[in-house]
Structure 1
Amino acid sequence: MSDPELPLLSTGELLRGIVDEVTEIRARDYAVMQKIAELNRRGAAAELGYKNLQDVLRHAVRWDKNTAKRWVEQAALLSSEITPTGSEVAARLPIAAAAAAEGAVSIDHVAVVAEAMKTLPAEREGQMVDYARQFAPAAVRVLGKRLIYGLFQNDPEPRDPQAESAGNRLSLRQSKTGDWKLAATMDAVTGAKFATLLDPLAKPRPTTVEGPDPRSLDERQGDALAELVDLTLRADQLPEHGGEPVTLTLTIPYQDLAEQTGHAVLDNGERIPVEEVRQLACSAGIIPMVLGSKSQPLDVGRRSRLFTAGIRRALVARDHGCAFPGCSRPPKHCDAHHIHHWADGGDTRIDNGVLLCRHHHTLIHRSGWEVRMEQGVPVFYPPAWLDPLRTPRRNLLHTAA
């Protein structure tokens, strides 16, 4: 039976109520884990004639095997232990335990933090829990991986000869019906080039009176490949993406490039060894990413509503993809958004622009989320129903490492 008072609440009040109740649920989950930990400490499974505590819980609360195992494992991580001599040992994840007690993180968050902390040093637990307070478990997992990579990227990496790239291979055969069939394997750089060329041509056609584009992704990519072949035959006509000819962007500190150390990062996050970058530089123009350089017009003021190719490159170098907190979409899926809207007098320049994927671009225009430039980077403020304090947030997915 529905609550008769619910229709009287505003949308913001309903959402705030959900947030508060989920917080209470998570806090109660933590209380349950404390009870599970106490059962484990006193050896309840043996006392009750069971093989382990998971089997006890499966019968007690009708959990399946994996769920029971997960709760027992998380309870052990978040609870103190008593040694055989009677001494109390603090929880293995004390900061996560405190956040779980508040109801700020869920059991799924704890599992992700625990997985990352198997590799990270203990002093990084606070940083991981801060991530968990802001983002969904899937995003926290990505942040953890990137944090691990950033901490240990200079360590020697074991190389498995069998894991080395097989290089570029293409199988092209004509069938009896006249159709051609192809299968290809590409190395990381070649594959990224190919995907960059194909992506703008494989977009769904605009919706018409006949409805949306009915083609599947495979069909769109097949038609895009056919169009790419035609474009290759017309060398003076190249597809555009984001307002400029298709460009493969690699970001690398100049000092690393000069000293032949480190790696570059492609738009899709793929890391390319510096020796390959230098090889690519031999056959490609180098566009300096120096804000305000004479070679790139980074401030066009009120002269143009659309962001120029030069400004977009600078936004890519700064934001590395959609800047909305928790979004991992790469630059090729993003629009350049005026923070101070152009229609309201905002200029078209680097410090008034931010990269946003289509979904979050729409969200910023239509919802209570706000974006502001602070100290040269975009910072997002959630609506009050999500966070009454409107605590500022940034997208750490592109910068965690």
Structure 2
Amino acid sequence: MTASLLAALEIAHRALLDCADAGSMHECSDEALLETLHRAAEVRRLVDARSAVLAGEVARRSTAQLSHDGLAQRHGHRTAEELVRVTTGSSKRDARVAVRAGTLLAESLGEGDEGDARPSLPEWAHALVEPVTQGRLSTAALESIRSGLGDVSETVNADALKSAVRALIIDAESLDVDRLFRRARQVRDEIDTAGIADRERARRDARSLRVFRGSDGMTRATWVLDPESAAVVTDLYDRATSPRRGGPTFLSPRDVELIERMNADERTPEQYASDAFLDLLRAGADADSSALLSSGAPSVRIVVTARDLLEGSGSAHIEGQTDPVSLPTARRMLCDGTQAPILIATTGQPLDVGRTQRFFTPRQRVALAARDGGCRWSGCDRPPSWCEAHHIQPWEAENGRTDVADGVLLCRHHHLLVHNNGWRIERHRGPDGLDEYRAIPPARGAGTTEPLALRAHDQTLRRALPARPAA
């Protein structure tokens, strides 16, 4: 085993050196550069997988049962993670991830000890092993899928999780580790709607606010928020800091005047946010609204399909939050009248007001935010408050309509990219009945000729589709 591992690592090392020939990098084409970067990533995944296997073996030889006879303690280290960190020169986090990944892989590779109490990969996740050991899937991606999907429960069985793993392995080809984790959490919610209330309760129970007084006279606060609480706080935060962080251009004369005053303020965005929240705490509902864009209580919107709300099944989303909430929570939040429901129809479109005006109305902006969940461009995470409404058919030249169906939210960067670089956005009806959008690159200069799928961040609209009869 050791010889084969050393041989594999030697091959990977030589390949990595070939990829990283910096002397010729500036002479290669864009396509060659990206292909080389892709190959280097494959080599790194392979090396990480082999390193994880080695770290897992270090952990096996350093178990607590071995005490001072364990490998780590014989070399003067308290834990296997510490030995791996010192030996590889990596960070504590990287060493911990390597040991955990190697431990999870050990039993699946037939290298674990019978009766070993260490964590192991559950049977429904064994399909992850081969892609990891072949270098097609990183160890970090393994952890994202494993932790994002959770465990078998009363509301979801192993077969459902097996199918989810196979789908996520495919998704991993186009998603980074962070987005893969979020996608795994979304998949869990899609296949386990009955468990949403329990997961929501667990997040609510985990909320906390801690204050730490430092020796330098400063005090630090750590605030852990569940999605419902975060929706209130982030709305106020975005309203206080958006102009200072490159938010969208607002058309209201009052807003333009307020933005100019905010931009002239010498405080940093962080200082401005701190002072704004302090004023809110001091004065409560009567705080000076000039510190925030728009006025009044935080605007929290509940996105839910009309069918789910009528039938009492499924789930809802709080705008701007990635995790769903149960329908009882949605109904509770709607009861006090301070939150607005956004009902999604069976086409996935919440509003249509025709071609009577040039600009999108505030109500249409609310509908776009509910449908898109932020900048719709592939890979962009900008929230709705940072976005502008884009006509996919230009109003002046192509008889474009100011309908939600013919608009998408784009952040300033991607809005300028579309207008200045010759991109087009098209809408078409997908096979599932939802309106789908894609960005068509210009004929030259975009680096790609393939259309980009512009997917909504919010998964609620897919629940708006009529139930399909069983085949």
1:299 and 2:351 matched? no
Residues 374 and 457, structure 2, Cα contact 8 Å, conserved in 1:
no
1:147 and 2:179 matched? no
Q: Which amino acid aligns with 2:370?
A: A
Name 1:81's counterpart in structure 2. Answer: 110
Sort the Cα spacing of 1:13 and 1:122 in 2 relative to 1 into closer, same or farther, 3 A.
same
- Structure 2 residues not aligned, in runs of 5+: 1-19, 73-79, 115-120, 153-160, 209-224, 247-258, 430-434, 464-471
Name 2:391's counterpart in structure 1. Answer: 338
Match of 2:403 among 333, 344, 349: 349
- The residue correspondences of 1:230-379 to structure 2 (distance < 5 A) are 248-258=300-310, 264-269=316-321, 271=325, 273-281=329-337, 297-300=352-355, 304=358, 306-341=359-394, 345=398, 347=400, 348-362=402-416, 364=418, 372-375=426-429, 376-379=435-438
Greater helix fraction, Structure 1 or Structure 2: 2
Residues 327 and 397, structure 1, Cα contact 8 Å, conserved in 2:
no
Deviation at 1:125, TM superposition (A): 0.9
Match of 1:20 among 17, 30, 39: 39
Q: Which amino acid aligns with 1:398?
A: D
The CA distance in 1 between the partners of 2:62 and 2:351, in whole Å, is 70
Name 1:399's counterpart in structure 2. Answer: 459
Sort the Cα spacing of 1:198 and 1:328 in 2 relative to 1 into closer, same or farther, 3 A.
closer
Name 2:269's counterpart in structure 1. Answer: 217
Q: Which amino acid aligns with 2:26?
A: P
- The residue correspondences of 1:97-136 to structure 2 (distance < 5 A) are 97-101=129-133, 103-119=135-151, 121-136=161-176
More deviation, 10-19/217-226: 217-226
Deviation at 1:350, TM superposition (A): 3.2
RMSD, matched Cα: 5.5
Sort the Cα spacing of 1:219 and 1:164 in 2 relative to 1 into closer, same or farther, 3 A.
closer
More deviation, 312-321/357-366: 357-366
The CA distance in 2 between the partners of 1:343 and 1:12, in whole Å, is 37
Residues 371 and 456, structure 2, Cα contact 8 Å, conserved in 1:
no
Q: Secondary structure at the match of 1:354?
A: strand
Residues 143 and 396, structure 1, Cα contact 8 Å, conserved in 2:
no
Q: Secondary structure at the match of 1:114?
A: helix
Residues 52 and 102, structure 2, Cα contact 8 Å, conserved in 1:
yes
Q: Which amino acid aligns with 2:320?
A: N
1:203 and 2:235 matched? no
The Cα offsets for residues 292-311 of structure 1, whole Å up to 9 and x where unpaired, read as 9xx9543328x62x333344
Q: Which amino acid aligns with 2:33?
A: L
The Cα offsets for residues 234-253 of structure 1, whole Å up to 9 and x where unpaired, read as 99xx9669xxxx96432222
Residues 304 and 343, structure 2, Cα contact 8 Å, conserved in 1:
no
- The residue correspondences of 1:172-211 to structure 2 (distance < 5 A) are 192=231, 196=235, 199-200=238-239, 202-204=241-243
Match of 1:71 among 90, 95, 98: 98
Sort the Cα spacing of 1:117 and 1:385 in 2 relative to 1 into closer, same or farther, 3 A.
farther
Sort the Cα spacing of 1:275 and 1:307 in 2 relative to 1 into closer, same or farther, 3 A.
closer
Deviation at 1:377, TM superposition (A): 1.9
Q: Secondary structure at the match of 1:332?
A: helix
- Structure 1 residues not aligned, in runs of 5+: 167-185
The Cα offsets for residues 88-138 of structure 1, whole Å up to 9 and x where unpaired, read as x99874433343355443222222122234426232112332333222222
Deviation at 1:146, TM superposition (A): 3.0
Normalised TM-score (structure 2): 0.57
Name 2:214's counterpart in structure 1. Answer: none
Deviation at 1:291, TM superposition (A): 9.1
Q: Which amino acid aligns with 1:152?
A: D
Deviation at 1:26, TM superposition (A): 1.8
Between 1 and 2, higher relative CO (CA 8 Å, sep ≥ 6) is seen in 1
Q: Secondary structure at the match of 1:14?
A: helix
Match of 1:10 among 29, 39, 46: 29
Residues 324 and 360, structure 1, Cα contact 8 Å, conserved in 2:
yes
Q: Which amino acid aligns with 1:330?
A: P
Name 2:71's counterpart in structure 1. Answer: 51
Normalised TM-score (structure 1): 0.65
The CA distance in 1 between the partners of 2:232 and 2:190, in whole Å, is 25
Q: Which amino acid aligns with 2:168?
A: M
Residues 262 and 274, structure 1, Cα contact 8 Å, conserved in 2:
no
Q: Which amino acid aligns with 2:375?
A: C
Residues 55 and 65, structure 1, Cα contact 8 Å, conserved in 2:
yes
The CA distance in 1 between the partners of 2:236 and 2:45, in whole Å, is 46
Name 2:177's counterpart in structure 1. Answer: 137
Residues 80 and 90, structure 1, Cα contact 8 Å, conserved in 2:
no
Sort the Cα spacing of 1:3 and 1:212 in 2 relative to 1 into closer, same or farther, 3 A.
farther
Q: Secondary structure at the match of 1:214?
A: coil
